[in-house]
Amino acid sequence: MAVYGQPTIKFIYADTNKPAPHFFGEVFENVHSQVFFWNADRNGYLKIKVLKINPEASYHLSSNNIKYKPVWKKIDINSNDTLTVSVEKNEFYIARSKDLYFSLCSYPFMASHDPREIRNLDDLPDSIFLKVSDYIKKRLGPKLREDFKFINGQIVNLNRLKKVNHRWQSSFSEYKLCFAYRNLKAGINMYASKIELDSSGNVLKDLEFPIVKPNTIQEKIISLNDIKKKVINEGFYNSIDRTFYKNRNNNTEIEMGFDPELNILLWKFKNLTYHPNNTFSDEERVYNAHNGNYITTNYGKGKWIDN
C-alpha cells in the first residue's frame, strides 16, 4: 500500500527571514535516488509527498539555485512538522548583463533517474577529489587556476540508471563536473565547461578549456569589449532588442567556445536572418580569443516552427 511522508519545508532568505518563493526542492533516498521534486509556493512552503517510504533508508532535502548556496539537509520523512530552511546568497554569483559573457553547463536528461547535483568538490569521494584537483592544476597552470571555480556537478548512480533506463550505455560517465572561468577585466562573468570521469576517476571528457603553460598565448584573453569593437568596425555586429525570436533578424549572438585541435578559446559572433517561408540562415564569424585574429566564417540554414 502507498505510504506518504508529510513533512513541510519553509524556505526563507537568510538575510531577511522573509519567505523565499518558488524554490525548487528535491528529496533523495540514500543520497543518490531522487524520490520527490517540486517547487515551493509563493509563500515559500513545499509540501513533501514521498511514495513507498523505505524505513531503512535515509532521506535528504536538496535545493540548488546558482544565486544561492546549495541546500543538502537530512530530513525525517515521517514527520508532520514544518522545517525552516534558510537560503544564503552565493557570493560568487554576479547578475547577468549585456556587458559580461555568461554561460552554464548543460546535462543530459536521464528518464526515471535524476542524479544528485553537487555544488562542492568535498562531496566527491576522496580518490576522485584528488584526481580532479590534480587534473585542474596540470591543465590550467598557476596563473589561471585561481580564476576557476567549481559550479555544480552530477554523481550518476550507474547501477540504478541501468535498471530504470533501457538506453543506458556502459560508456556513461559517473561524474560530470562543471567549472566556470571568470575574468571580469575581459568581460567574462562565467564561461562554463565540464569534465567527465568514470567510476575510477579516469577522464572520459576533457574540460573545454586550453592546456595552459607558462608564457604562452593561452594565458591572455582578448576582452569581449575589444573583440566586439573589432566586429563592429568590420560592419558585422548588430544589436536589435526585440521580443520574438522570429523577428530578431540580424541580432548578433555572442558565444565563447573551445577548439581542442588549436588548443584555444574562441569568440563567436552569429547573425541570424529569418525568412518568410519559415526558414532561417545564419552567418558566424569566429575569432581567436587570445589574440583577436579572425579564423573563419561558418554558414548554416534551417527551418523554424511558429507556435
**Residue 92: inside a domain, yes or no?**
no
Least confident interval from 67-71, 245-249, 294-298:
245-249
Same domain for 201 and 123:
yes
pLDDT at residue number 279: 84
Mean pLDDT within 230-245 = 71
Contacts for 249-255: CB closer than 8 Å, 24+ residues apart: 249/273, 249/274, 254/101, 254/224, 254/228, 255/103
User: How many whole angstroms separate alpha carbon 115 and alpha carbon 109?
Assistant: 10
Q: Write down which residue in 163, 189, 215 finishes a domain.
A: 215
Same domain? For 134 and 187 the reply is yes
Whether residue 204 lies inside any domain: the answer is: yes
Question: How far apart (Å, rounded) are the C-alpha atoms in residues 276 and 284?
Answer: 21
- Residue 231 has φ and ψ, to the nearest 5°, of -70, -35
B/e letters for 142-175, b = 16+ CB within 10 Å, e = fewer, are eebeebbebbbbbbbbbebbeeeeeebeeebbbb
Query: The whole model's pTM is what?
Result: 0.84
Kindly report the number of other CB atoms within 10 A of residue 134's CB atom. 11
Chosen domain end from 172, 193, 215: 215
Q: Is the pLDDT of residue 46 over 90?
A: yes
Q: Is residue 96 part of a domain?
A: no
pLDDT at 2 over 50: no
Is 53 domain-assigned? yes
The per-residue pLDDT for 181 is 95
Residue ranges making up the domain that contains 277: 224-303
Q: How many domains does the chain have?
A: 3
Pairwise pLDDT comparison (189 vs 166), residue with the higher score: 189
Look over the chain and give the mean of its residue pLDDT values, rounded to a whole number. Answer: 87
- Look at residues 37, 47, 43 and name the one whose alpha carbon lies nearest to residue 22: 43
The answer to whether position 95 is within a domain reads no
In a domain, 125, yes or no: yes
* Total count of residues recorded for the chain: 307
> What's 48's domain CATH number?
2.60.40.1120
Say whether both 187 and 256 belong to one domain.
no
User: Does residue 290 share a domain with residue 186?
Assistant: no
Range name among 9-23, 205-219, 239-253, 265-279 with the lowest pLDDT average: 239-253
83 and 115 belong to one structural domain: no
Min mean pLDDT across 60-64, 83-87, 166-170, 251-255 is at: 166-170
Residue 152 has pLDDT above 70, yes or no: yes
Q: Do 130 and 188 sit in the same domain of this protein?
A: yes
Asked, for residue 146, whether it belongs to a domain, the answer is: yes
In a domain, 234, yes or no: yes
Query: Mean pLDDT over residues 14-31, rounded?
Result: 93
Q: Which CA distances in Å does 102 have to 21, 130, 177?
A: 25, 28, 18
Which of 160, 182, 215 finishes a domain?
215
133 and 230 in a single domain? The answer is no
pLDDT above 80 for 219? yes
Same domain, 196 and 228: no
155 shares its domain with 194: yes
Say whether both 78 and 161 belong to one domain: no
Per residue in 121-135, pLDDT (tens digit) is 999 999 999 999 999
pLDDT recorded at residue 241: 44
200 to 45, 129, 156, 190, 195: CA distances (angstroms): 40, 11, 13, 29, 14
